[in-house]
Structure 1
């Protein structure tokens, strides 16, 4: 029974309503407490805490308008523009006055790249709003119109805002970026000054005024303006970022880093500040820190849909730059393309061009750069890039012309770097060295110039200069592994193996995954004959990646060093099989190795596989032609080389290489065509000029040959090649005195082993019985005791004058320098035969045969040694082989005749002897005549 009695009843529906009202009251109270706490957090900039409490409030009461509005503003501050838009629209649907959310809603739309929506939504019509709100909304609309590429409409919105009293700074400061974007700098400065009049000492006004000289390149004035802005408000982030960027431009890296770090204290995930720290890390050679900072940039911006920032060139640019710096070209491309649409013909064009080059889409890259250079014809960096692009397309002369044009306007180190590189690519290495040295001397940060110089010095045998330059590169960027690799390469060439090892190990410390550093150490191990250590290192690399083409290639080099001849081809084949069409080093090495081993058939098969991999590559065609020549397919080689010349564009280096092979193929017309094409692109290309002189001489035009030889001398007066060419001309004209004069000059200006040997040969030819050649060689070897070629040449000269004991000592010394040198072994065996030791000579000749079984001279020497030592069967076997390989050699035919006569085959011997005696000028002529008389 009810305590109220049986007559009293509370209606069921009313009871439920009463209970519901009580619960709702309790929930609203909780929601209110959450809101108040969120508001306090919002006011002290604890935005994350505010968002949590506001969401808690909505769980208690989803109809609180104040919660939706504050949550929308907090989300907008957290860059969650889409979520903010939802909150503002929810507030509107619940009946809030649009004046409360019009401005932040417009800002949320702009933040999402929905600039057009700002002009379409009914809630964002300026008319009917209170003046302060209408003024702010008009300024947001001005920015949206500017983003949409409508500066007229943007300025109109600003004028409407300015007409609303009171006249304050905001409306004037909004005009500054609009005028700057239109490059109306006077109007921009006037607007900034008016803003400062209305708000003296205002940090934003001071900042906006400083942006004008910054864009105009008046760095010191801009820096002073940013300093004033930060004096007014030390926490003003935009001024901090702009100042840091300007300090980088001024090469004040320490100050820039301090400023960027100050910005990061205010905003730890600010992408612009992170990017600036990446730039500075890269400058000081700290590649790891640079990559870390760039990754932080992409981590911040990648989650933002690209549509949200499509009207934000700076955000697009930053993410594009960050991905570019990380080598992620495909990811960089859309951001840079969007940014370029917003700011056509801006410096972004240069980055975008590099992305297109990486694709590769060289035509598109050239189109972008060409458009940019029309707007900024004096931009040195763009000129450098365009010149580099021209070089990539084989237009080296055009590249050099671009940089020479740039230097007329401004003598900048980067211009000289590009000019030097273009001259280098066009084959004018002498001129290139001069330009690169000037660039690197004036600015040691011209790393490309420094690295190119290291390569050139090494190529020219100037190891000390290469080491000095590489040292400077390392000092400039001590944390950059690439520079340590350069130092390792230079030190190794200079013979400083411990120093080279140290450099390679340093490179590996700075980049743990740098395989090339490990391979560098491996090469040192091989040079120091620490074969087991090299093997272990390579085994580990191949175990980690069995398709590591570089490690497989190095394994081939290790096998060669160990004398494991059969293994070399196996490793090179494996490396070639896993190499891409862009990495043909192993394929080319395999062809070259098989040619050196006297295996023309396998070499041609390897060259065919290379051509199948990269059928349009001139270098592959050149390798195939070399194999064809080795297989005596002269006609096929001519066709291949003609195709290679056509596909080489106007690249002087490959065309000169092709022309040299065409000379070997006795295709004078083809060589002349290739050289003419090379000289069109690079009229001062040394190798092409030299070969052209040789071609002219062979075509019976010594006058032209002499003219081109003198051109070479004019270009490189301190190089031997021009004087050597003059000696060839004099030889053709039968002017022995002029031959010696030219070769003496060649050796004087460039005292190398090559110029020495040429002079020694000429002296021996003109005075076979004299000692002039021997004396020259002996003087040279007193100061160059490790010159293998000189020892062999001295031995030859001594043998020609009958000084066989001295010749033997020279050849034995040569073999101490290189125990398996085939020429030294063969000549030593020949000398031992002359000394009456044919049996010992046969042993030495067999060593040469094992190394080069197809060498006719070696086969003949071994056969003759066996004949003289009484081994008739082996002698006949070898001498028949030699005669089949070189039937036009009278000495070989005499040797075979003697062996046949001794074996009792007189008729066959007489036939060989008659063939030999058709010539009257060969070493064994007197012996052949005597044998002939005994066979009658």
Structure 2
């Protein structure tokens, strides 16, 4: 019994406090109302509202103990663990019994990643607490030990909890996740059965049983357990999450969608529900919804402190997957790496390996995959990645052996897809196509289909590419990426209206798919809708002013419009901001300078590109071309030899290299490249055809004929075999046999190409009349064939049938107003016809191509030919300009010499004529140049 205070003490206290009793009573009453309202909100799970009212109460009296305790619990329930800890510690300072706050305080520590402190600080010592609290605290400490990778410590804590109360199902359930993490399924099953015997109607027990069955692969039984848990407690979040996941795995999307919707109703901030939404959206091909859902996941988890998620592998994996799906590997990487430390050798290893590979860290990727494969030796995807990592390190033989070993173990479509993709990496596209075509017999192998489209497009098999892409769109009509792929195939096939419709469909499905918007701009450029293309590209650059693709197309657009300065500006701007792995702007700068006959500038740009990307095949090729343009034949030969090694056995690339080697007069190098191409794809027609050309150039018509007949036997219904036999006959001087072969080729495949071969062979017959008749009949039946019409116009011009030539050039320009070549030829024809409009046409050509030496020369010559004295100075200025741009052109030097002589500059004129005539080449003005030179002795 407490001692009774003396009466005078009570009287004294009453006197001392009397003056302030009234005000305190009012204040306490108001704060209490805030507290009571907050308590009601807390019980209704309105945590934000409860927190506001509790803070209002603390504004009145910050020492109200109940307010601090409830505030700590409300903040914890609202996910604000750090501020919850502050409130709960303040409650302890104010004198709350430790048992009242030790459990939420321990939960706040775990939520912040303070597991180690939870095990070390004395305030979390179970001694002296009520038995029930002791059990809960011991289980929390066991969970902390498990998070720290100490399963023995976790099991010890669970055993201590059982000593306190062995009849609680929780002390048995706590063992289950620890055993599952250690893959000790038998022990986990014993624990869950003990819990089930103690609490058969517990939703948590049913859920844990389902989790154990789930991880063992018994999905049907796992779903039954999850169903039972949700029948007992429909608000059990974990059971609903797990059931939704199984439904997605089993392809039961409708069932999964119901669970996901209920999850988001019960817990609107549940990131796993958002991730499931992304998976379901991906299944339906709705890429826009996928990105929205994944962004929702990252918006929920990114703000969470790293200390909170570091011991939560599921959240680490979830946010890593979300960022990875959003194509943000740099953000996904730290989450995957943290997950890997907690739970190594899981499927996340494959994603992390892909990130390492994208960074060029193939050594780390190889180590990671090799460790994973030791645990999962039959994982075809992991083996495929390992093969890719080996190929990236030049270990192609090992990569091929890995995938062939996998396929020998199990012939599955996904493994054939993997093997096909690995073969692409090794340059064996012929073998890759075989594997991918077999794989895509299973429509689920959309990756194989996508790869096939790319391979077909690269090989020019546009019909096949369109067919596969169309099939992909039908499989997933809401997949914006597949619609975009179909558009790309249709565009390459020349079906621009269909391509435009496919790109528009892709944008409709996903307005953020910039690739489709840029492709629409490309269609506009191809259709000469330049203003529309400009509008589209400007809109993209307004949103993203560093979009390389948009800048690149702006350069292309400027080039089409004949604006070389703008083309150069856009390419330089793109080059300045291009990342370390973006080489297109630099490559195009070289191409631009080569087209503009500026070899020195081309070589300078090529050197910059080569320094940036010494192991990038296109940089080697353009560097070699720049060397050729600068007359460095030996240097180009060395460069192309290096390119051959980089291309390995890629048939298309080796054939391209062979073409360049022939341009550098290196038939031996070209032959070697073609042999490598044909070793991987013996039926690769472009390589076979080029080999015939080389054999003919080397004076081996017998070998060429044998190869041409092989091509004919391989493709008896195609033109190429007959065309090659025609080339062989031409080389042997067997004109009649050549004409017969070319005629057969044209009958097999009537096309511009086959007609032109026959046309050229007939040009030497009967004054060229049969050739002209053939071309005239063709363009009459095919008026849109500009290639043949161009050849016809050129033939008329050579035959001095200038009216007919003029008519056909004008038709060409009506169809293609920016055809500089046709325009320039027309100016020359008009000059022959003494038509004064030649100058106006020449001026128009100069506006479109102000850096083209031939255009400048033609206009200068037209001005000189006009005989007008006021045009002489400009004519001389233009011809000097043209000569500086192309000093190796004898026709230009002759034209300049004629104007110089007319101006009385005979010495300079003689120098120009000597340079033109000493070149040894034939040119149109050769006779006139020789005559002029005699007058200048």
TM range (shorter): 0.7 to 0.9
- What's the CA shift for 1:398? 5.7
- What's the CA shift for 1:741? 9.6
| Residue deviations 1:355-381 (CA, integer Å, cap 9, x gap) | 334445343333323322232132233
Q: Which residue of 1 aligns with 2:599?
A: 600
Structure 2 residue matching 1:307: 3-state secondary structure: helix
* Aligned CA distance change for structure 1 residues 402 and 153 (closer, same or farther; 3 Å): same
Residue pair 1:747, 1:756 contacting (<8 A) in 2 also = yes
- What's the CA shift for 1:559? 4.0
* Aligned CA distance change for structure 1 residues 582 and 475 (closer, same or farther; 3 Å): same
Alignment pair present for 1:156 and 2:187: no
Name the CA distance, whole Å, in 1 between partners of 2:414 and 2:718. Answer: 28
Q: Which residue of 2 aligns with 1:268?
A: 268
* Aligned CA distance change for structure 1 residues 489 and 396 (closer, same or farther; 3 Å): farther
- What's the CA shift for 1:43? 4.3
1:300-699 map, 5 Å: 300-387=300-387, 389=389, 402-443=402-443, 446=446, 448-459=447-458, 463=462, 465-512=464-511, 515-538=514-537, 549-563=548-562, 568-569=567-568, 571-577=570-576, 579-611=578-610, 614=613, 617-642=616-641, 644=643, 654=653, 656-668=655-667, 670-671=669-670
Residue pair 2:429, 2:651 contacting (<8 A) in 1 also = no
- What's the CA shift for 1:739? 7.9
- What's the CA shift for 1:224? 3.0
Name the CA distance, whole Å, in 2 between partners of 1:826 and 1:67. Answer: 90
Structure 2 residue matching 1:304: 3-state secondary structure: coil
Q: Which residue of 2 aligns with 1:931?
A: none
Name the CA distance, whole Å, in 1 between partners of 2:237 and 2:103. Answer: 22
- What's the CA shift for 1:346? 0.8
1:29-68 map, 5 Å: 39=39, 41-52=41-52
Q: Which residue of 1 aligns with 2:183?
A: 183
Residue pair 2:135, 2:165 contacting (<8 A) in 1 also = no
- What's the CA shift for 1:314? 0.8
Name the CA distance, whole Å, in 2 between partners of 1:315 and 1:543. Answer: 36
Name the CA distance, whole Å, in 1 between partners of 2:164 and 2:615. Answer: 70
Name the CA distance, whole Å, in 2 between partners of 1:627 and 1:621. Answer: 10
Name the CA distance, whole Å, in 2 between partners of 1:336 and 1:157. Answer: 29
Name the CA distance, whole Å, in 1 between partners of 2:31 and 2:598. Answer: 89
- What's the CA shift for 1:277? 1.5
For structure 2, the 5+ residue unaligned runs are 1-7, 928-937
- What's the CA shift for 1:407? 3.8
* Aligned CA distance change for structure 1 residues 801 and 53 (closer, same or farther; 3 Å): closer
- What's the CA shift for 1:351? 2.5
Name the CA distance, whole Å, in 1 between partners of 2:809 and 2:628. Answer: 31
| Residue deviations 1:190-242 (CA, integer Å, cap 9, x gap) | 43233223222432222222223322334333333322322232221111111
Residue pair 1:720, 1:750 contacting (<8 A) in 2 also = yes
Q: Decide which moves more: 397-406 or 377-386.
A: 397-406
Residue pair 1:768, 1:801 contacting (<8 A) in 2 also = no
* Aligned CA distance change for structure 1 residues 734 and 596 (closer, same or farther; 3 Å): same
| Residue deviations 1:549-593 (CA, integer Å, cap 9, x gap) | 544443444344445566545554555455445433333334324
Q: Which residue of 2 aligns with 1:219?
A: 219
Q: Which residue of 2 aligns with 1:296?
A: 296
Aligned-residue RMSD, C-alpha: 6.0
* Aligned CA distance change for structure 1 residues 725 and 106 (closer, same or farther; 3 Å): farther
Q: Which residue of 1 aligns with 2:933?
A: none
Structure 1 residue matching 2:306: 3-state secondary structure: coil
Q: Which residue of 2 aligns with 1:111?
A: 111
Structure 2 residue matching 1:308: 3-state secondary structure: helix
TM-score, structure 2 normalization: 0.77
Name the CA distance, whole Å, in 1 between partners of 2:302 and 2:751. Answer: 59
- What's the CA shift for 1:646? 6.0
Residue pair 1:214, 1:222 contacting (<8 A) in 2 also = yes
Residue pair 1:522, 1:534 contacting (<8 A) in 2 also = yes
Residue pair 1:445, 1:476 contacting (<8 A) in 2 also = no
| Residue deviations 1:137-188 (CA, integer Å, cap 9, x gap) | 3333332222222223333333443455543432332222222212223333
Name the CA distance, whole Å, in 1 between partners of 2:583 and 2:17. Answer: 84
- What's the CA shift for 1:634? 1.3
- What's the CA shift for 1:452? 3.8
Residue pair 1:38, 1:49 contacting (<8 A) in 2 also = yes
Residue pair 1:396, 1:682 contacting (<8 A) in 2 also = no
Name the CA distance, whole Å, in 1 between partners of 2:712 and 2:229. Answer: 63
Residue pair 2:439, 2:445 contacting (<8 A) in 1 also = no
Name the CA distance, whole Å, in 2 between partners of 1:829 and 1:36. Answer: 95
Q: Decide which moves more: 165-174 or 344-353.
A: 165-174
Residue pair 2:428, 2:650 contacting (<8 A) in 1 also = no
Structure 2 residue matching 1:322: 3-state secondary structure: helix
* Aligned CA distance change for structure 1 residues 734 and 484 (closer, same or farther; 3 Å): same
Name the CA distance, whole Å, in 2 between partners of 1:785 and 1:500. Answer: 24
Name the CA distance, whole Å, in 2 between partners of 1:55 and 1:564. Answer: 67
Q: Which residue of 1 aligns with 2:78?
A: 78
Q: Which residue of 2 aligns with 1:5?
A: none
1:777-926 map, 5 Å: 786-790=784-788, 885=888
Name the CA distance, whole Å, in 2 between partners of 1:613 and 1:240. Answer: 53
Residue pair 2:823, 2:845 contacting (<8 A) in 1 also = no
Name the CA distance, whole Å, in 2 between partners of 1:100 and 1:576. Answer: 65
Structure 2 residue matching 1:372: 3-state secondary structure: helix
Structure 2 residue matching 1:345: 3-state secondary structure: coil
Residue pair 1:856, 1:885 contacting (<8 A) in 2 also = no
| Residue deviations 1:733-757 (CA, integer Å, cap 9, x gap) | 9999998999789778877644565
* Aligned CA distance change for structure 1 residues 560 and 44 (closer, same or farther; 3 Å): closer
Name the CA distance, whole Å, in 1 between partners of 2:291 and 2:886. Answer: 66
Q: Which residue of 2 aligns with 1:138?
A: 138
Residue pair 1:822, 1:848 contacting (<8 A) in 2 also = no
Residue pair 1:396, 1:423 contacting (<8 A) in 2 also = no
Residue pair 1:463, 1:491 contacting (<8 A) in 2 also = yes
* Aligned CA distance change for structure 1 residues 43 and 712 (closer, same or farther; 3 Å): farther
- What's the CA shift for 1:717? 8.6
Structure 2 residue matching 1:442: 3-state secondary structure: coil
Residue pair 2:381, 2:418 contacting (<8 A) in 1 also = no
- What's the CA shift for 1:244? 1.3
| Residue deviations 1:881-935 (CA, integer Å, cap 9, x gap) | 9999589x9xx99xx9xxx9xxxx9xx9xx99xx99x99x999999xxxxxxxxx
Name the CA distance, whole Å, in 2 between partners of 1:747 and 1:724. Answer: 9
* Aligned CA distance change for structure 1 residues 35 and 747 (closer, same or farther; 3 Å): same
* Aligned CA distance change for structure 1 residues 516 and 129 (closer, same or farther; 3 Å): closer
